[in-house]
């Protein structure tokens, strides 16, 4: 079966996860300490129609709220168009971390059309457990 020539869809360009300070996380988030309350932000770039951006923990949907952020305007002069890419953003705020949270897996997924591939990024929580006997 061939897609309709009238259907216009541009897949999501990419997905990345960043921490509270804006540092991109690849594979691992942390190490965090016991009782810390980190935030994880998923940023999906591009896509037409705009994608839905969701968070999953250990394979279960945990958050489906997201918002649009326009392209950055830094470095533009008045009257110039931005050359950046808009992003759809979803941030989760984790509760105070417990020892049971060590190695939990969080996945951000961005999808905008049934025919376009789902883009995703996954991290695993790491905790500083230098003095913990259970690590």
Q: Which domains does the chain have, with CATH numbers?
A: 14-71+83-127 (2.60.40.10)
The percentage of residues in the chain with a pLDDT greater than 90, rounded to a whole number, is: 62
pLDDT above 70 covers a percentage of the chain that reads: 81
Structure pTM? Answer: 0.81
- CA neighbor of 48 nearest in space, from 19, 77, 20, 88: 88
- Tens digits of per-residue pLDDT, 74-102? 554 444 334 467 899 999 999 999 999 99
Q: What is the pLDDT at residue 9?
A: 75
Indicate the helix (H) or strand (E) that contains 126: strand 119-127
Between 82 and 6, the more confident residue is: 6
Residues 6 or more apart whose CB falls under 8 angstroms from that of 11 comprise 46, 47, 112, 113, 116, 117, 119
Q: Check residue 10 and give its pLDDT.
A: 84
Distance CA 76, CA 86 (A): 15
């Amino acid at each position: 079966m061939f897609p309709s020539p009238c259907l216009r869809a541009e897949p999501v360009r990419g997905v990345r996860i960043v921490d509270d300070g804006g540092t991109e996380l690849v594979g691992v988030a942390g190490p965090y300490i016991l009782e810390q309350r980190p935030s994880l932000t998923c940023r999906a770039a591009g896509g037409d129609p705009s994608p839905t951006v969701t968070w999953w923990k250990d394979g279960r949907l945990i958050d489906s709220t997201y918002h649009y952020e326009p392209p950055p305007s830094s470095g533009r002069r008045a009257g110039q168009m931005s050359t950046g890419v808009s992003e759809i953003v979803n941030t989760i705020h984790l509760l105070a971390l417990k020892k049971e949270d060590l190695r939990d897996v969080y996945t951000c997924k961005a999808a905008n059309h049934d025919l376009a591939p789902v883009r995703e990024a996954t991290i695993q929580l790491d905790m500083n457990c230098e003095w913990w006997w259970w690590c």
